[in-house]
């Protein structure tokens, strides 16, 4: 799964340094917070240095934006703004505005991690913000975004080495951590349900339904030579091998590779599925079908042409490519594609969600691939994320036992709620996409 670009635009932070990060003077510790490990979370444990002018500007912009939204923002239990709706409890307004003034959206997320604001309906609050993303920041400031928005660090570029580091940051956290909130299939992407509301017991079948739809879209059956880019923990490879396909599946995560191999072996398909620690750019061979589930989000815009040319190069004549991709609106992608966000800093370094239009532009401009079909199911992702979030919150004791602290749990809860809100508001979507070569369509 990849949800790396924020649906909530930041207010102007301190100007970024040349390497794309916020300058050290803007991150310097001023007021340490109890309960946050400064060694693990230096930018959460202390407030950034921010001028009173920047802080005052952030407060004015944020209060004005919140006052026009269908929510209620209450400041330190005193005054409140908003049109009514889910409650946003801002416990330390001065610290909250200071972080936003210094770091924009990054500060907004770090303020939650620090416990400076909270909500009894976090998804509800974030859904309101996501649904009104286009109007939160005044238009003049939006037009000047390139001048004030922090830029992504060059170290996060998805070169072959950078991709390994970026993937390891998230997927090598701990297989045991992911097992705590995923279902028994260990599938970390949107399921497809028969109806709503969804139930935890129905999640494994819904994940299999998603996988089977993708394999059907790619035409995978007995004898199919299948390439999978992005192994996950091996469930798609297992189901494809069970159909009689021969599977080559690629991952950059050592943790995932080991568990995927074990799960494939336990399912009795070791002779039909080969799990390789390999960058997609280095794959060789020709395949009847290619599938990739929510991996393009980790490719990076500058490498999208290489990614799609690789798919085309590896596709046998008459073959089919089936992708599952999280998408965002084209105008928002174009406006925010170089911005450094909270998600990129803490969850998915190097990530960027494409738009459907961007994928069309890249395939038309750099390959002979063409989209033949799109099936959207964003509401299903919202339900999938709800189930993950609820299970994660229920298993806080087990998360702690793995060595993750309370700040990590707040970070992860915010990430899951933030992602769910993107889909509930309609700001984000997820699609299964069929591509074929233009001359074989």
pLDDT digits (tens, 9 = 90+) for 100-149: 999 888 999 999 999 999 999 999 999 999 998 766 666 555 555 555 56
pLDDT at 29: 39
Rounded CA-CA distance 302/402 in Å is 37
Residue spans of alpha helices (H) in 68-151? 93-103, 105-113, 122-131, 139-143, 145-148
**pLDDT value of position 82:** 96
- Look up residue 48 and give its two tokens: 């950034």
pLDDT reported for residue 438: 82
Q: What mean pLDDT value characterizes the chain?
A: 89
Per-residue confidence (pLDDT) for residue 141, from 0 to 100? 56
**Helix (H) or strand (E) segment spanning residue 312:** helix 304-314
Which residues does the chain have with pLDDT short of 70? 1-34, 134-151, 440-441
Amino acid 158: pLDDT: 86
Given this model, what pLDDT does residue 4 score? 41
For position 165, what pLDDT does the model report? 86
Whole-angstrom distance, CA of residue 26 vs CA of residue 201: 47
Determine the pLDDT at residue 31.
Answer: 47
Nearest to 62 by CA among 50, 52, 75: 75
pLDDT of residue 22: 36
Tell me the two tokens of residue 145: 């975004």
The dihedrals phi and psi of 431, each to the nearest 5 degrees, come to -135, 145
Rounded distance between C-alpha atoms, residue 215 and residue 209, angstroms: 10
Q: What is the pLDDT of residue 30?
A: 41
Q: Which two tokens stand for residue 107?
A: 């500060």
Look at residue 154 in the predicted model and tell me its pLDDT: 78
Tokens found for residue 7 = 């649906």
Q: Measured between alpha carbons, how far is 391 from 365 in angstroms, rounded to an integer?
A: 43
The 3-state DSSP composition of the chain as helix, strand, coil percent (nearest 5) reads 50, 15, 35
């Amino acid at each position: 799964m990849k949800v790396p670009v924020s649906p909530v635009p930041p207010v102007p932070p301190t100007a970024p340094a040349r390497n794309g990060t916020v300058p050290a003077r803007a991150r310097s510790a001023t007021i340490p917070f109890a309960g946050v490990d400064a060694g693990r979370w230096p930018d959460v444990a202390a407030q950034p240095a921010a001028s009173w002018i920047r802080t005052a500007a952030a407060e004015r912009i944020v209060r004005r934006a919140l006052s026009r939204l269908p929510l209620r923002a209450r400041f330190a239990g005193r005054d409140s703004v908003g049109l009514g709706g889910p409650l946003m409890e801002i416990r330390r307004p001065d610290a909250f505005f200071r972080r936003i003034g210094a770091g924009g959206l990054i500060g907004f997320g770090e303020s939650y991690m620090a416990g400076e604001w909270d909500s009894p309906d976090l998804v509800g609050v974030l859904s309101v913000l996501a649904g009104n993303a286009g109007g939160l920041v005044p238009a003049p400031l939006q037009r000047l975004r390139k001048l004030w928005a922090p830029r992504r660090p060059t170290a996060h570029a998805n070169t072959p080495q950078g991709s390994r580091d970026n993937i390891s940051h998230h997927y090598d956290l701990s297989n045991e951590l992911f097992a705590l909130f995923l279902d028994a299939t260990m599938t970390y992407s949107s399921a497809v349900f028969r109806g709503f509301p969804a139930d935890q017991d129905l999640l494994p079948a819904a994940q299999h339904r998603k996988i089977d739809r993708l394999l059907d879209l790619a035409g995978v059956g007995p004898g199919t030579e299948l390439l999978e880019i992005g192994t996950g923990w091996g469930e798609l490879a297992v189901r494809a091998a069970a159909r009689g396909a021969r599977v080559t599946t690629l991952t950059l995560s050592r943790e995932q590779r080991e568990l995927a191999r074990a799960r494939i072996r336990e399912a009795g398909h070791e002779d039909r599925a080969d799990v390789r620690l390999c960058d997609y750019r280095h794959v060789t061979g020709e395949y009847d079908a290619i599938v990739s589930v929510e991996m393009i989000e980790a490719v990076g815009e500058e490498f999208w042409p290489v990614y799609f040319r690789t798919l085309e190069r590896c596709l046998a004549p008459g073959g089919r490519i089936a992708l599952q991709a999280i998408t965002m609106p084209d105008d928002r992608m174009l406006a925010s594609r170089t911005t450094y966000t909270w998600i990129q800093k803490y969850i998915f370094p190097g990530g960027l969600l494409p738009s459907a239009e961007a994928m069309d532009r890249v395939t038309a401009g750099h390959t002979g691939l063409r989209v033949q079909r799109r099936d959207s199911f964003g509401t299903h992702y919202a339900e999938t994320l709800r189930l993950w979030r609820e299970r994660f919150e229920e298993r806080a004791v087990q998360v702690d036992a793995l060595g993750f602290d309370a700040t990590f749990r707040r970070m992860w809860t915010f990430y899951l709620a933030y992602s769910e809100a993107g889909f509930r508001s309609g700001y984000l979507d997820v699609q299964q996409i069929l591509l074929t070569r233009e001359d074989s369509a």
